[in-house]
Amino acid sequence: MSSVLFTEENKVPGFGDDHRRTIYEINSPEDGFSIQGFFIKSNNLPLGIHYHERKSELFKIVEGRGFVLLYAVEKTGETINPAKIRREELVAGTVVYVPPMTAHTFYLDPGSRMMSFSTAPYDDNDKDMTRFPELEMKEEPRN
């Protein structure tokens, strides 16, 4: 087994490599987890804008900085209360735990690197992902 986690063979095709970021992913359906590496190219668009009903995620900022917006969703389809949106500043070394039913959107500076550990592997047939566009900032994020 190689000690290099993120190589070309782990690159997520299609949506995982665009002008915003490159995502590398290692899925382990047998063991029930996923590890992702995010390499940020642009801070003009958000990363995420969704929540999961069943899985938890743990994010670590490896290099760079930015911020994350978090919102505890009480039920699917609820009306958002803007006062409940939390903004957390991120620097290298910061760890963010995102439990199920927590909408999350990251805004990271170009050149930032982030890792994610998920309690479930990505599955095209069961994405367990609900878009939550209310966390998309309408103004330009800071540089």
Q: What percent of the chain has pLDDT over 90?
A: 41
Q: What is the pLDDT of residues 78-116, one digit of tens each?
A: 677 888 999 999 999 999 999 999 999 999 999 999 999
- This model's pTM is above 0.85: no
DSSP E strands, the chain: 21-28, 33-40, 47-51, 57-63, 65-72, 86-91, 95-98, 102-108, 113-118, 130-131
Q: What is the pLDDT of residues 46-68, one digit of tens each?
A: 888 899 999 999 999 999 999 99
